[in-house]
Amino acid sequence: MSVPRGTTAPTVVAVTELSPADLSGLRPGDELLFLNGRSPRDVIEYSLLVDEPELDLVIHRRGVAHPFSMSVSKQPGEPLGVEVSSAVFDRVRTCDNHCEFCFINQLPKGMRRSLSLKDDDYRLSFLYGNFTTLTRFTEMDLERVLTERLSPLFVSIHATDPDVRSRLLRNQRGATSLRWLSALLDGGIEVHGQIVVCPDRNNGEILHDTLAGVLDRYPTMATVACVPLGVSRFSNESGMRPHTREEAAEVCDAIDLWQQTFLAALGRRMVYAADEYYLMADRPFPAASTYDGFPQHENGLGMARAFEAAFGGDERAALGVRPGFFAWVDGAPASGYRAQRADPTTPRSDGNVPIAILTGEYGARVLAPLVESLGRSDIRLVPVPNDYFGGNIGVSGLMTGIDLTRALEAEPQGHRYLLPDSCLSEGRFLDDLTVTDLPRPVEVVATDGLSLRRALDGTGPVSTQSSGGCGSNEVSRPERVPVTIGVSR
């Protein structure tokens, strides 16, 4: 007896003590071939199956010659008490677009293979907030999304003009795939959109045309983010370049104009510009109230204002940041992107030691006035240039071990060094170095203003991510759009 071709069985990685799974004899390493006669395709289907009070399992166990059966009884809704190995058990639906601005195509050679996987899978959009272009979406996918209410989803728009969109995606299906967006919205699915704005491609009048198309054809969308493309030094696309200051200012002006239009027509702003645009244009960030509760906070929209509010003590604004490139490919818990990745480090208690905050170059511009407002001479910022990727990459979530090593080697020993957790997955940086490889000890702090403030005050870091834990069988439904600014697909 084996699982269907192209599907791997969910593997148990942890069992909660005294849970129904533990009392029934399930062990880490067990492969769950069938649950009530079905082989789940993904953790979404798995979660529905294990919610049943009576479970008949077919298990493959290492060292046992043949699969065997096991029955588990539990109270309705009671967690099974199992953590499984991954979110998708069949093949991940990969991207068949060839976008000039795709950041994955700009990675240097030699990085671990998992980071180079380009997905366009609606299931990962639901679970982890990955943006999908819908070019590989089907009628069967639509039926499942509507039946199981897989909401919210996250859709890359880029342009509403069919010809422009197909050119941007370098895929003829890009001209027609937004029909699925209409079908999703008509079915009551919450959808958050994204436009990666590329100079000379879809900025200027095309951006205005795109936002007019959103208002005309997709007025029930939840939000639309306008984010800048990231260009690394490894890009082979000669037509891709960072925005000039003037172009960034034009995007800010366009968003301000269309926010007023959407407000007048729909009673809400809907469209927002990423914080990077205001940094590039040397403009102040909009007021926190204009972000309408920060619905696309983790896409870099209002992140600076939320961080500022949390730094000042507003716990409601401590929204955290998803580890950008680590969204799901590395160590992503099956329970969703909100599951905890790593425990923040307990801060040192000695109050007389100078403190240095390690951050990206964009982060330093946001943090500088906040640190200055404390009036403390024992705190300094250490902006870390991103030489590893180069180009216009300056977000903290893409700091690498080698760049941090270079920065820390120039810093004195014996100081406290605070590092945001957004650049780590299970203790690893994008270049595979770990925190133990760094030349100075660092304290890992959850990436939000409240956690940083408490770490500076010595009262301890606070993680705003919820943990699925070993006993979690619930699929975490995204509360906010979770894409790190500058790393947009």
List, in order, residues 6 or more apart from 89 with CB less than 8 Å away.
3, 7, 8, 9, 10, 39, 40, 41, 42, 43, 46
H runs (alpha helix) in 319-441: 361-373, 401-409
pLDDT value for 468: 31
pLDDT value for 5: 59
pLDDT value for 4: 61
Burial 425-462 (b: 16+ CB within 10 A, else e): beebbbbebebeebebebbbbbbbbbbbbbbbeeeebb
Please state the length of the chain.
489
Reported as a single tens digit per residue, the pLDDT across 239-284 is 999 999 999 999 999 999 999 999 999 999 999 999 999 999 999 9
**Cβ-contact 149, 80 below 8 angstroms:** no
pLDDT value for 85: 82
pLDDT value for 346: 59
Torsions phi, psi for 60 (to 5 deg): -105, 125
pLDDT value for 340: 46
CA distance 273 to 271: 7
Could you give the 3-state DSSP secondary structure of residue 40?
A: coil
CA distance 94 to 130: 12
For residue 152, whether the previous peptide bond is cis, meaning omega lies within 30 degrees of 0, is yes
Closest CA to 288 of 312, 266, 267: 312
CA distance 309 to 484: 19
Reported as a single tens digit per residue, the pLDDT across 143-156 is 999 999 999 999 99
**pLDDT < 50 stretches in the chain:** 323-342, 461-489
pTM of the model: 0.86
Closest CA to 398 of 321, 331, 328: 321
**Token representation of residue 56:** 């008949």
Q: How far, in Å, are 122, 183, 222 from residue 188 at the CA level?
A: 16, 9, 11
